[in-house]
Chain A
Amino acid sequence: MPGVKYSGRLSDAELAAVLPPAERLAQGPVAVIECVQSIPCNPCEKACPFGAITVGDDITALPALDRAKCKGCGLCISRCPGLAIFVVDASGDEATIMLPYEYLPLPAAGDVVDALDRSGKPAGTARVLKVNTAAGLEGTAVVTLAVPRKLADIVRNFRPRGRDAIYICRCNEVSEAEIRQAVREGARTVAAVKLATRAGMGLCQGRTCRRLVSRIIAEETGQHPAEVLPATARPPVRTLPLGTLAGGEDDE
C-alpha cells in the first residue's frame, strides 16, 4: 500500500480499510479480516458458508467481505493461516472478540486475562467467555473475550495471568522473566545475559532469541535496542558435525 511504513502490524490507513463502520458493529457480530498483503491464499473464501468472503480467481487478491452477508459465526477464524481474522460484536454493553489462539496451555472460560493490542502491549482487562477447541479447527483454538466496548477495535490478543512461561530462548527454555531478572541483577549486554541464563547457548546458537534479548535489555535500561552491545557472532553459521570441520566426513 503506498505510503505505508511496514512495521509488522497494520497501519492506521490499512486498518481504516478493514475495520467495519460503527453502524455495522452495533448491529451484531461481524468478521474483521485484517489481511493487507497480497499473498497467494484463499482458505477464508471456502470457509464461509454464507458466501460473504470473496478472493476470486486471482489467488493473490485480498479477501473482500460482504458485511451484509456475514453472520459473525466465526468459521473463517481458524481457517486463516495468518491468524488475521477476528469476529467483533459491539452491539451490547460489553464488546466480544473471537480470536484465533495457538498457544498452550489454553485458558478456561471465566479466566481474567490481560488483553493485548496489535503490537502485543497490554490494553486492558478481558474475561474469557468461551474456548472452542472443536476437532474441525485443526488445532487452532477460537477464544471469545469480553472487553470494554471502547476496546473493540484495539484488542486482538491476550496473555494469561500468573504464568511465567513466555520463552525467549526456546532451546534452553529461558523465560522472559528470567532474562529481565538477569538484566536487573546487572547483565547489560547480550553476552552477559547469555552467561547468566544460558539464553543463546542452545543448538540454534541464539538465532531465535538474541534480538529479543537485545530488546529486553533496551527496555529495562531505557536504551535504544541498537545501543545494546550485540552478542558475538562466531562461525559456523549453521550447526555442523564436528567431523566436517576436521575433514573426516563428507558433509551432505
Chain B
Amino acid sequence: MRVTNHPVLGDAPPGRQVTIWLDGEPLAAVEGEPIAAALLASGRRVFRRTPRFHEPRGVFCGIGRCTDCIMTVDGVPNVRTCVTAVRDGMVITSNLKEVPAGDQ
C-alpha cells in the first residue's frame, strides 16, 4: 500500500514509475521513494537475516537509526533502505541466503 492522499501532508507528488531489481526479480517502484517503502508496498517484510541467530529483520525504526533494514544496493553492503531513495535500475539483494562467517 502507498499513501497517495495524506490527511496532513496532502497529495503525494506524481512520481515516475521505475523498475528496480530485487534478488534478481523486477519490481515496480516510484522514483524517489525509500527502497524500504517499495519493498513494503510489494508485500516484502523480511529484508535480511541476522548473523548470530539468523532471525528475520525488516523495517524497525524507519528513520535511518537502527540499521535493521540494511541490504546490499548496487554492490554496496549495509545500505539503510529506509532512508535511501529509489533510482531506476537499482540492484538490491538481501543477505537472506548468505551466512556471514566470523562477524559475530
Contacts and interface: CB of A to CB of B under 8 A. Distances in A.
Contacts of A198: 104
Interface in B44-92: 45, 50-53, 55, 60-61, 64-68, 70, 76, 78, 80
Given A203-B67, A203-B70, A208-B66, A173 B55 contact: yes
Contact of B7 (A40, A139, A173): A40
Interface residues on A, range: 10 to 19
B8 interface: yes
Interface SS, B side: loop
A241 B70 contact: no
Interface residues of B, number: 20
A47 interface: no
B3 to A, nearest CB: 12
Nearest to A241: B76
Given A203-B78, A239-B78, A171 B7 contact: no
Interface in A33-53: 40, 42
B8 A59 contact: yes
Contacts of B76: 241
Interface of A: 40, 42, 59, 139, 170-173, 198, 202-204, 207-208, 238-239, 241
Given A170-B67, A203-B70, A207-B65, 16 more contacts: A40-B8, A42-B7, A59-B7, A170-B66, A170-B68, A171-B66, A172-B52, A173-B53, A198-B104, A202-B67, A204-B65, A204-B67, A208-B61, A238-B64, A239-B67, A241-B76
15 contacts: A40-B8, A170-B68, A171-B66, A171-B67, A172-B52, A173-B55, A202-B67, A204-B66, A207-B65, A207-B66, A208-B65, A208-B66, A238-B64, A239-B67, A239-B80
